[in-house]
Amino acid sequence: MDLMEIKEFILEKTKSNGEIFQDQLPTSTKEGQYQFDEWGTWVGSFWTGLNFLCYEMSKKESYLEVARKSRHRFKRRLYERAETLDHDIGFLYSLSCVADYKITGNEEAKEIALDAAKLLKGRFREKGQYIQAWNVWDETDEFSQNNKGRAIVDCMYNLPILFWAAEETGDDNYRRVALAHADTTAKYLVREDGTAYHSFVFDLETGEPKFGQTHQGYSDESCWARGQAWLIGGFAYTFKYSKDEKYLNMAKKVADVFLDNLEEDFIPMWDFSLPSKENHPRDTSAASIAAASLLELSSHLSGEEKEHYYKWAYQILESLYNHYGTQNDAENQGLLVHACGHYPAKKDLNCSLIYGDYYFAEGIARLLGDTEIYW
């Protein structure tokens, strides 16, 4: 694959999008046009992260300016609308503020990110040893009520901001809760065979494990492809910050499940446990998250193992570009099509998702050796 050609494609499309989007936060596309959310839901920072990547890949200040244009939204949300935040504080403030601090040393970004990390640490439940994922969004609904005791696999990718905060502040509590959450995930959310529950509910009073349950997957016992992808990176980064081999082994175990279940074009169906694949979509966002995560995993390995995961990441990225890239569709604002946001809710189907686009760009920037890693 021609990495320089792909880099130009990412830079060009992000540049023209930036001129249109200004300070808005894109989420998913409808008919090739990005939709926006005032606060960015859980995904607002993937757009800023994409612009930070483009800045690193090009050294052009204009990307840095776009990456910072929406800063006021992240600040207002954290300091005035904190009730709208949940465990995805990690995503939101890693790629908006930690990234800025790591690349440019911006002090304001560092302070915001540290405040965000503190809020995330506050979601740790000592009874049960997990970070509470979601807030209760409907007092009358049982699933939502259970959110008080719910941990989800996606949260593994929110741990790096805690490890970063531990290093910046010297407060080891950040690290303690991140490691405890990773251990709880490995014990209860990852099944014996390496597949995972999307979420797991714990008893609020005792912290005892209760049951696994899905929200975005096919069924409670199924293996949701994007959840599996979040785990690969989540455990790889936990190894990066802890150097404890058990997390590296867990990253390999969940990665192997992901790779064993890919379709012939190296892209997964949206869930790995569908009784029939007919009329079901693939999810390119899961593929791009996995590709960037496999490169992180590979970076901690040596010899054949290193090659193995690197090769898979390369093949996935190549297929994403060749079969799902919008390089020949100038009108489409996404980088990749055929992402699947929330199949059970029939939301964001067959579209571009800003996080799918971000991880694709991260994967390419990594192959080029063009980026500091923000996680």
Active-site residue set: 88, 154
Size of the site for ligand GLY (CB under 6 A): 4
- 43 burial (CB, 10 Å; 0-12 / 13-18 / 19+) is buried
Residue 93 or residue 310: which is nearer to ligand GLY going by CB?
Answer: 93
139-178 footprint of ligand GLY as x/- string (CB under 6 A): ---------------x------------------------
CB of 141 to ligand GLY, least distance (A): 19
CB of 238 to ligand GLY, least distance (A): 17
Interface with ligand GLY (CB under 6 A), residue from 77, 226, 300, 366: 226
* Residue 27 CB, nearest approach to ligand GLY (Å): 11
Q: Is 213 in the site for ligand GLY (CB under 6 A)?
A: no
DSSP state of 341: S
* Long-range CB contacts for residues 299-307, cutoff 8 Å, separation at least 24: 300/236, 300/239, 300/240, 300/248, 301/248, 305/252
C-beta of 64 vs 353, nearer to ligand GLY: 353
Site residues for ligand GLY, 31-50, by CB under 6 A, read 42
Taking the least distance from each CB to ligand GLY, the nearer of 42 and 266 is: 42
| 123 touches ligand GLY (CB under 6 A) | no
210 vs 159: CA distance, rounded Å = 23
Do the beta carbons of residue 118 and residue 78 sit within 8 Å? no
Give the nearest residue (CB) to ligand GLY: 154
Q: What is the smallest separation between the CB atom of 157 and ligand GLY, expressed in angstroms?
A: 8
Is residue 86 close enough to count as binding ligand GLY by CB under 6 A? no
Long-range contacts, stretch 2-10, CB < 8 angstroms, 24+ apart: 3/364, 3/367, 3/368, 6/321, 6/325, 6/364, 7/57, 7/364, 7/365, 7/368, 7/370, 9/321, 9/325, 9/327, 9/335, 10/50, 10/53, 10/54, 10/57, 10/335, 10/360, 10/361, 10/364
Q: How far is the CB of 288 from ligand GLY (least distance, A)?
A: 12
Contact flag: residue 185 with ligand GLY (CB under 6 A): no
Q: What amino acid is encoded at 72 in this protein?
A: H
Strand residues in 55-208 grouped as ranges (E): 124-125, 130-131, 150-152, 199-202
Q: Which of 216, 238, 298, 326 binds ligand GLY (CB under 6 A)?
A: 216
Residues in contact with ligand GLY by the rule CB under 6 A: 42, 154, 216, 226
